[in-house]
Structure 1
Amino acid sequence: MYDPNRLAALVAVAEAGSITRAAERLGYTTPALSQQLAKLEREAGTALLVRHHRGARLTGAGELLAARARRVLDELEQARHELARLTGLSGGTLRLGTFQTAGIHLLPSVLSAFRRAHPDVELTVAHLEPPAGVEAVAAGDVDLALTHSYAPADPVQLPASVRAEPVLVEELVLVTAPGHVLTSDSSRLPLAALAGQPLISMAPDHPARRGVEALLARAGATPSVLVATPVYALVCALVSAGLGIAVVPEMVARTAVTPVGTRPLGTGELRRTISVAHRADGPAPAADAFRALLRGAFGRARQGGV
C-alpha cells in the first residue's frame, strides 16, 4: 500500500521538474522530500526518478505510477469534500418516502437521530406504499424511499437510475386469534397444517404478495376474507376477532394493536425484505447520512426486534 503523501511527492516532482521546486510547493525541505521519494522507490521496487543537473525527470515506471497516483489523489480529495459536507450538513431538504409499517415502527427513531445530528436540514415524509416509493425516487420526487419485496416472488425490476439497499430481512409468521390451537405451540408449523384453515387473504393480485398467496393456496389454506390492499393493521384486527388466520411479517405481528397469537412457519421460506431505494447518480450527503442511520437502526431491529 503506497503512502498518499509519497504519491503526492512524486506527482509534485513530475509537475515541477525538480525535487527542490516540488519541496517548496509542498512545504518540505529538499532532503525531507528526497527521503520520501526514496521510500516510495523502495516500496515500488524500482527507480522512479532520474536526477540530472537541471532537476529530475520520471522514469517509465515513475510516469506509470504518477498517472495512477493522480487518480488516487483526486479520489481522496473528492472523498474529503464529501465527508466534510456529510459531517457538516446545514440547510437543504431531505425528502423521504415510506410505507406504513416502517413509517410507524422504524422511521421515527431514525428521524430523531438525524434531526439531532443535522438540525438545519428540513425533513419531509410522504406515505408511499411499494412500488410507489421506487417510482418517486426515479422521478426525483423524493430522495429516499423505504420499500419492500417478498419471497417467494418474481424479482423486482428497478429503474436504471435507482438502487435498492437491503437493510432488514424478516420472516412471515402465522397470526391467529388469541388461544387458537395453531398458535398454542412455539415450534415451527408446517405449511401443510394450514390446509382447510380460513385465511384472511392479503390481496392475491398485489404484485408483492402474489408469490406468498400462491404458496399458501398450494398449502390448502381456504380464503375466508379478502383484504384488497395489504393493510396489516386491519388484517390483524380481523384475525383478533376470529374471522380467520393470516400470514404477516414478524414486525407486524410483534407490534399488532389488537391481541393475536403468533407462530413461526415452515422452514422460514416466507420472507419480507425491507430496502431503502435511492438514486444511483452522484453523491447526496443528506441522503447518505440518513442511509447510514437506517442501517444502524434496522440492524438493531434485526438483533432485538421492535
Structure 2
Amino acid sequence: MYDPTRLAALVAVAEAGSITRAAERLGYTPPALSQQLAKLEREAGAALLVRHHRGTRLTAAGELLVARARRVLDELERARHELASLGGLSGGRLRVGTFMTAGTQLLPPVLSAFRRAHPDVELVVAEYEPPHGVAAVARGETDLALTHTYEPGPVVDPPAGVALEPLMTEELVLVTAPGHALSAGAGRLPRAELAGQPLVSSAPDNANRRQVEAVLAGEGASVAVRCETPGYVLVCALVSAGLGVAVVPEMVARVAVTPLGVRRLDPAGLRRTISVAYRAEEAAPAAETLRALLRGGFGRPS
C-alpha cells in the first residue's frame, strides 16, 4: 500500500515542476523530499520522475500514479475534514510557542501537516526563549510550547498543571573557524584538547548553558567573547570569523549560515533535549493532534 505522504510529495513535484520548489511548498528540505520519492519509486517498482537541468518531469508511470494519487488524496482530505468536525477541529485557534532553532528547522513541516489536515484552525506562533515558553503555557498565554534543557543542567520541575514530553535529544558539538586545527580529523575530539581555547558563549543568564560552560572550564576553556543574546546565529558568526570556538547543539551547527568546522567531542556527555510543554489536564483536540504530529515529525530526517 502506498504511503499517502509520499503520494502527496509526488503530486507536489508534478505541480511545482521541481523537487526544490515542491520541498519549499511542503516544508521539507530537498534531500528529505528526494528520499520520500525514492521510497515511492521502490514501492511502485518503476521510475516516476526524470530529472533535467530545469527541474523534473513525470515518466509514464509517474503520470498514471499522480492521476490516481490526486483522487486518493482528495478522499483522504474529505475524511479528515469530516473527522475534524466531529472532533472539534473545524475551527478555533491553536497557539504554539517555540524557540528559534526549533521554529525554523523542525516546526514548519509539522505545522504544514496540521494545516493540511485541519485548514479551518487558525494557527498563532510566538517565540519564547526557553524556559519562558513553559511559563507561558502555565499562564494560559499559549496552548503548548517547544522548549529545551541541557545536560548537564539543573533539573527544574515544570509549574503545576504543566507537563513536558521529550521529543528528541541531540549532542552538543564543537564549532570552529574553517581550517582550525581542532576541526581536523574525523574522529571525536577529546574534550581535554579544549584547554587554552577562547570560548564564544551566549549564556549570561541561562542556567543550562552555565552548567555546560562549567564542564568546558574544567577542561581548560575560558570565555573570551560573551554575546548578550540567547541566539546561536551571532555565536556561530563570531566563531566563523576566528574569535574563538563554541560548543553548540548539532542542529545549530548543521544549519549555520556562516562556514564552520565541526567536530564531535569525547566523551559525548553534553546534550540538548527538545520537549513540548502542555497543560496536562486540558485535552483540547487541536493541541492533542499537534502533539501527536510533533512526536512523529521530530523523528523525520531534516
The equivalent residue for 2:231 is: 231
Deviations 1:268-305 (A, max 9, x none): 100000000000113111001101111111111xxx4x
Aligned equivalents of 2:280, 2:95: Cα separation in 1: 16
Q: Which residue of 2 aligns with 1:267?
A: 267
The yes-or-no answer on 1:158 pairing with 2:153 is no
Corresponding residue of 2:42: none
Structure 2 residue ranges without an equivalent (≥5): 1-82
Provide the residue aligned with 1:96 in structure 2: 96
Q: Which residue of 2 aligns with 1:180?
A: 180
Q: Shift in Å at residue 86 of structure 1?
A: 7.5
Question: Are the equivalent residues in 1 in contact too, given 2:173–2:250 (CA < 8 A)?
Answer: yes
CA distance in structure 2 between the aligned counterparts of 1:135 and 1:274, rounded to whole angstroms: 16
The amino acid of 1:163's aligned partner reads: A
Q: How does 1:1-306 map to 2 (within 5 A)?
A: 89-300=89-300, 304=301, 306=302
Q: CA deviation at 1:88?
A: 6.1
Do the aligned residues in 2 keep the contact of 1:86 with 1:285 (CA within 8 Å)? no
Distance 2:109 2:272 in 1: 21
TM-fit CA distance, 1:156: 1.9
CA apart distance, 1:129: 0.6
CA distance in 1, matches of 2:144, 2:86: 16
Q: Distance in 1 between matches of 2:87 and 2:250?
A: 35
Q: Is this contact kept in 2: 1:85–1:285, CA < 8 A?
A: no
Q: Deviations over 1:24-48 (max 9, x none)?
A: xxxxxxxxxxxxxxxxxxxxxxxxx
Instruction: Report the CA distance shift for 1:266/1:204 in structure 2 as closer, same or farther (over 3 A).
Output: farther
Q: Distance in 2 between matches of 1:111 and 1:214?
A: 37
Residue by residue over 1:156-198, the C-alpha shift from the partner in whole angstroms, topping out at 9 and shown as x without a partner, is 2210110000001000000001111111112111111100011
Residue deviations 1:184-231, cap 9 Å, x none?
Answer: 112111111100011102315411212101101111002110112321
Ranges of 4+ aligned residues in structure 1 off by more than 6 Å: 83-86
* Structure 2 CA distance for aligned equivalents of residues 282 and 122 of structure 1: 19
Between Structure 1 and Structure 2, how many residues are aligned? 220
CA distance in 2, matches of 1:286, 1:85: 11
2:150/2:208 contact within 8 Å kept: yes
State whether residues 149 and 156 of structure 1, in contact with CA within 8 Å, keep that contact through their aligned partners in structure 2: no
C-alpha distance in 1 between matches for 2:148 and 2:176: 24
Q: Which runs of 5+ in 1 are unaligned?
A: 1-82
- The CA deviation at 1:85 is 6.3
Contact 1:179 1:261 in 2 (8 A): yes
Letter in 1 for 2:107: L
Supply the distance in 2 between the matched residues of 1:193 and 1:122 (Cα, whole angstroms). 51
The whole-number CA distance in structure 1 between the counterparts of 2:266 and 2:205 is 23
Task: Give the residue type in structure 1 aligned to 2:244.
Answer: G
TM-align CA RMSD: 1.5
Amino acid at match of 2:134: V
Cα distance change on mapping 1:96 and 1:252 into 2, 3 Å = same
Task: Give me the whole-angstrom Cα distance separating, in 1, the residues matched to 2:199 and 2:120.
Answer: 48
SS of match in other structure, 1:231: coil
Amino acid at match of 1:283: A
- Which of 1 and 2 has greater Rg? 1
CA distance in 2, matches of 1:297, 1:123: 17
Scaled by the length of structure 2, what TM-score is found? 0.70
Q: Secondary structure of the equivalent of 2:158?
A: coil
Q: Percent identity?
A: 67
Match of residue 34 from structure 1: none
